[in-house]
Amino acid sequence: MAEFVTLDVDGGIGTIRLSRPPMNALNRQVQGELRDVAAAATADDAVRAVIVYGGEKVFAAGADIKEMAEMSAQQMTDAIGGLQAGLGAVASIPKPTVAAITGYALGGGLEVALGADRRIAGDNAKLGVPEVLLGVIPGGGGTQRLARLIGPSRAKDMIFTGRFVGAEEALRIGLVDEVVAPDAVYDAARAWASQFVGGASRALAAAKAAIDEGLDTDLATGLKIEAHVFASLFATDDRSIGMSSFLENGPGKAEFTGN
């Protein structure tokens, strides 16, 4: 059983909870547990959407620097694959995901949140990638996902300076999608995730794959990806249910099975 990362499923929503007090530092054990829990959320058909949450006070303040401080270049070369897989594990879940951010989301903590499809932050949130202040750079996907999300110029400003970004600036530059009171963060994330509990889960997974894979290539290849996943959905029960329901009852009334 995982010690620091758990998956709780309630009403079709899975909550991945980070719990390594006091600041949810993401050591190698936590990285491994994140991979395992993300795989569990992927495999569990009862989970239709996922929330990643660090608790009421902090999301995650970064990787465990004490653990990294004595590592050699060769040791980090051997470990970096696990680091990226762990901090990017949320991105591998083929279901709608949302990061519920309170307090600090720094370094590896922000990299975990960047793997989600949506980010909801408390107005007390502080986000940043301060690795340059330690003489390194983001290594858990931060240089890539941050630039794709907010653009290269803004990403370079954050990465080069290591500065913390407050919630309102984060909203303005697109780093987060919604800002609420800190004690409302989890409920806001749950409200967003609940939209997909009765949804066509295979269509949602296909949409996510088409967008994410398309962003990594040129437009022509992206359109081929879209065409492939679009056509594949015509083999699903939910496509038949959705179209029949639309013809008989109008839009928005289908009761999907997830098959």
Q: Do 45 and 11 form a contact (C-beta atoms < 8 A)?
A: no
- Pull the structure tokens for residue 138: 């983001």
> What is the SS3 assignment for 17?
strand
Amino acid at 100: A
**Sheet containing 126-128: order of strands:** 104-106, 126-128, 165-166
The catalytic residue positions are 111, 131
Measured CA distances, 27 to 101, 237, 247, 250 (Å) = 19, 42, 53, 51
The CA-based diameter of the chain, rounded to the nearest angstrom, is: 66
Strand partners, 224: none
d(CA 228, CA 14): 29
